[in-house]
Amino acid sequence: MRPLRLLILLALLGAGAFWWITRPNPLPADAVAGLTGDARKGEALFWAGGCASCHAARGATGAAQLKLGGGQELATQFGTFVVPNISPDKATGIGGWTLAAFANALTRGLNPAGQHLYPAFPYTSYSHMTLQDVADLKAYIDTLPPVVQADAPHRLMFPFGWRRLIGGWKWLFLRPGWVVPDPLTPEEQRGRYLAEALVHCGECHTPRNLFGAMDSGRWLAGAPNPSGPGHIPNITPAKLDWSADDIATYLTSGLTPAFDSAGGDMAHVIENLGHLTDADRAAIAAYVKKVPPAN
């Protein structure tokens, strides 16, 4: 009986450790107390974050980009994720969410029920946002048109439909701190905040490991196109020999030094970055020049 008791004890200890490691880790209850969002500032954050690129209908242009009813499908090796409705509709969108719930989604990857969100939503990047920026972003989204559209369920392979497993993924891969460390100039720090947090450049330009986590050791070194055929390019100094002015010009106009133009999803990114200031685009360019070379 002693070996059996030992096995039972080990199983209980293992289950307890799993439950502890995978537990939700929300923000402190008073984390956003006293914060007031500014919708005017939130508008630039909305475009920098690419919210419309995923949450509006595919191919939406003009005012249709502000209808965030979701529905786009993201095919991955784990199954198909369906983008949710984040419009201000209170029944089918996020109109009923508090600022605390919104902040927990963006910075901790948790829904209002305290369940883990899948990292197809790039909270791995948004987790670096300041809570004031989160409040400003919510204030802007609250001004947009409500869209009545219920969320469709994800279609995931077993066992990825069990959200509790994402807690283990976060424990392994969701880390605080910046990929490119200090010392950086104030302009480069601003660029880092924009590139690593809001614009989330790494989500497309960084290769991923077997578990779908970004390989920070090869930051911005290029990766398969997540939305179709082709390859997202390496934009570290190992491959990109453009000057900071060249990069800033590309982020403004979509034109390369050879007068080629941005295409595919990058064209939409450039359109979004058009809502930022020249100084912000220059800051992103300055940051890209500081990224360690990687092949």
The pLDDT tens digits of the residues spanning 195-219 come to 999 999 999 999 999 999 999 999 9
**pLDDT above 70 coverage of the chain, percent:** 99
β-pairing, 223-224 vs 231-232, is antiparallel
Q: What pLDDT is recorded for position 50?
A: 95
CB neighbours of residue 57 within 10 Å: 18
186-288: CATH topology: Cytochrome Bc1 Complex; Chain D, domain 2 (1.10.760)
Burial pattern 207-244, b for ≥16 Cβ within 10 A else e, equals: bbeeeebbeeebbbbbbeeeeeeeebebbbbbebebeb
CB 42 within 8 A of CB 140: yes
Q: What pLDDT is recorded for position 188?
A: 98
Q: Output the average pLDDT for the chain.
A: 95
Helix (H) / strand (E) element for 75: namely strand 73-76
- Residue in the block written with tokens 């490119």: 180
How many Å from the N-terminal Cα to the C-terminal Cα in the chain?
56
Tokens describing residue 219: 């930051």
Summarize pLDDT for 90-130 with one digit per residue, the tens.
999 999 999 999 999 999 999 999 999 999 999 999 999 99
Q: What pLDDT is recorded for position 1?
A: 59
Those residues with Cβ within 8 angstroms of residue 110's Cβ, 6 or more apart along the chain or in another chain: 24, 25, 26, 104, 116, 117
| pTM, two decimal places | 0.94
- Residue in the block written with tokens 């360690």: 292
Q: Which of 81, 65, 168 minimizes the C-alpha distance to 122?
A: 81
Those residues with Cβ within 8 angstroms of residue 211's Cβ, 6 or more apart along the chain or in another chain: 169, 172, 173
Summarize pLDDT for 267-295 with one digit per residue, the tens.
999 999 999 999 999 999 999 999 999 98
Domain ranges for the chain, please list them.
34-173, 186-288
DSSP, residue by residue, 196-233: IIIS-THHHHS-B-TTS-B-GGGTTS-EE-TTSSSEEP
What is residue 188's three-state secondary structure? helix
Asked whether the predicted pLDDT for residue 255 surpasses 70, the reply is yes
Tokens describing residue 286: 């300055």
Tokens describing residue 196: 């690593």
Tokens describing residue 293: 């070379």
HSE, CB side, 13 Å, CA atoms: give it for residue 17. 6
Asked whether the predicted pLDDT for residue 11 surpasses 90, the reply is no
Q: How many residues in the chain?
A: 295
